[in-house]
Amino acid sequence: MPKTLLLETPAGRYLIAATTGVVGVGCFAPVGLFWLAPLVWLAFFILLRQAESPRQGLLTGLAFGLGFFLTGVSWVYVSLSVFGGMPWWLAGPAAFLFCTVMALFPMAAGYLFKRWQPDEFWREALFFAALIAAADWVKSWLFTGFPWLTVGYSQTAPSPLAGFAPLLGVHGLSLLVALIAALLVRWRVGLPVAALLALAGFGLQQVQWTTPIGAPVSVALIQGNVPQEMKFRPEAFFHTLDLYRDLITENPAQLTILPETAIPVFIDQIPAEYLDTLKALARRQNGDLIFGTLTGVGDHYFNSAVSVGTSPLQVYSKNHLVPFGEFIPAGFAWFMAYASIPMSSFTRGPETQPPLAVAGQHVAANICYEDVFGEELIRALPQAGILANLSNTAWFGHSLAQPQHLQIAQMRAAETGRPMLRATNTGMTAIVGADGRLIAALPPFATGVLKGEVSAYAGTTPFVRFGNWLALALMAGFLLLGRARPLPRAS
């Protein structure tokens, strides 16, 4: 098809929109071309402007979203089919349906943009930016939320816009990226605004919202690399215990962290002598050890992080569960019957839980998927000085999920001004600084221990104080300005 027809026909524009969505995944880890994000959403903005009706705006947004999510979260199929045991003929449509649901958010933004498209360039740019950011924000909580591939995640360090993270959070960054994108239609306007925001972001990076307190603690983050297909098999249980015991023995530290469900049985099923060994190993450095396991009360069981060592035993239980992976939504029991996902009916832990008092620090634990919800992590702040994430992303195989998840953790550290310690089963085990920059990481799919020293941080960033409210206020302001009637011209 000639190039002019691709641009001038609706079908051609839908094809370009889908291709643009695919390219947009390169803005995020592992490719990490943060500078590409304004160009991708510029292309989306241009395509919406060329749409001739709200229906075409809707289809343009849908095409963009399908290209974006089918590429960016393709690991959903891996999780369902390869490790969830679901037959391909069901896993394929299920993954496609999931990505289609995610594509409804840019679809809605496209429709609303054309339905109420302003007739002035400045108001048009503000309206577009607000819709893109608002769609990401709604996606972060509707149907329990799936904030993956939120536009703002593309702007983690070294992007200069990362300086806005402690102020506006990830959704505020989405707003800024979309605003720059729309203004670039008129490059004489867009380039100076982009440069001004980049300089402001760089300046904000020099602000010390939080400060280190006390002496640094030595940490050892254990990556067991236990294959997912072996994790819950009884015959592999004692091999797993020996593996973690040996890695802990060889790598003493004040704070040792094992991955999510590192010991994949209920805590009262762990041999007492093994727990005593863990306590003794943790106490060598007058420290503590946090490990993932299962806890239960009556008919309820929890995905938990448990600490042992010098401090009294403490438990954090996961609050934000993964639909289908950790709980079965009403009406979907038939769907889960085709999968073999162990422990898929967890109970939610309390919404508010105190930080773990370990190794002389207050550590805010979160488990796997929970660190994608920034407003939920700040519940433990400012008391906690360190964030710790225990994950098992073996479910997603060799896919984009692991580097994307690490990038999300970097955003959480930048928003809160706290270091993030990540202990994962197969990757990516990492230490992230309080500014969101990656300090060190283990290669994925390898057994190893990441050692380092980390300081706790005190203080409160604006995001910790206000959550998403500052970003939402800006979105609302952009929407109002975008929809406001233009002032009459002087005669």
Give the pLDDT of residue 24.
Answer: 98
pLDDT at 201 over 50: yes
Does position 1 have pLDDT exceeding 80, yes or no? Answer: no
Is residue 453 part of the annotated active site? The answer reads: no
Interval 132-156: pLDDT, tens:
999 999 999 998 999 999 999 999 9
Position 486 scores a pLDDT of: 65
Res 487: pLDDT: 55
How far does Cα 380 stand from its chain's mean position?
18
Instruction: Report the share of the chain in percent with pLDDT over 70.
Output: 93
The predicted pLDDT at position 395 comes to: 81
- Cα-Cα-Cα-Cα dihedral of 199, 201, 204, 205, to 10°? -100
Classify residue 315 as exposed, middle or buried by CB count within 10 Å of its CB (0-12, 13-18, 19+).
middle
- Please give the pLDDT value at position 397: 84
Alpha carbon of residue 418 to chain centroid: 16
pLDDT of residue 345: 77
pLDDT in tens, 440-463: 999 999 999 999 999 999 999 999
- pLDDT above 90 covers a percentage of the chain that reads 82
Tell me the three-class secondary structure of 204-269, residue by residue. HCCCCCEEEEEEEEEEEEEECCCCHHHHCCHHHHHHHHHHHHHHHHHCCCCEEECCCCCCCCEHHH
Mean pLDDT (whole number) for 372-390: 97
Q: Look at residue 2 and tell me whether its pLDDT is greater than 70.
A: no
Q: How confident is the model at residue 23 (pLDDT cuts 50, 70, 90)?
A: very high
Is 279 annotated in the active site? Answer: no
Greatest CA span in the chain, whole angstroms? Answer: 89
Q: Which of 27, 318, 326, 415 is catalytic?
A: 318
Residue 474 has pLDDT above 60, yes or no: yes
Query: Is position 99 annotated as part of the catalytic site?
Result: no
pLDDT at residue 171 greater than cutoff 50: yes
Q: How far apart are CA 319 and CA 329, in angstroms?
A: 16
Across 88-92, 280-284, 406-410, least confident range: 88-92
What pLDDT shows up at residue 331? 58
Angle, nearest 10°, between helix axes 401-416 and 165-183?
120
**pLDDT one-digit tens code per residue, 252-276:** 999 999 999 999 999 999 999 999 9
Q: Is the pLDDT of residue 491 over 50?
A: no
Mean pLDDT of 90-97: 91
Mean pLDDT of 394-417: 94
Per-residue pLDDT, 328? 65
Ranking 118-122, 190-194, 428-432, 487-491 by mean pLDDT, the lowest is 487-491
Helix (H, G, I), strand (E, B) or coil at 270: coil
Please give the domain boundaries of the chain with CATH numbers for all domains. Answer: 3-207+468-483 (no CATH), 212-460 (3.60.110.10)
Compute the average pLDDT of residues 18-46.
98
Task: Give CA 257 to chain center in angstroms.
Answer: 20
Give the angle 135-137-141 at the CA atoms, nearest 5°: 115
Per the prediction, the chain carries an average pLDDT of 93
pLDDT in tens, 347-356: 999 999 999 9
Q: Which of 27, 124, 231, 368 is catalytic?
A: 368
What confidence tens digit (pLDDT) does each residue in 276-306 have?
999 999 999 999 999 999 999 888 899 999 9
Residues 6+ apart with CB under 8 A from 439: 430, 431, 432, 433, 452
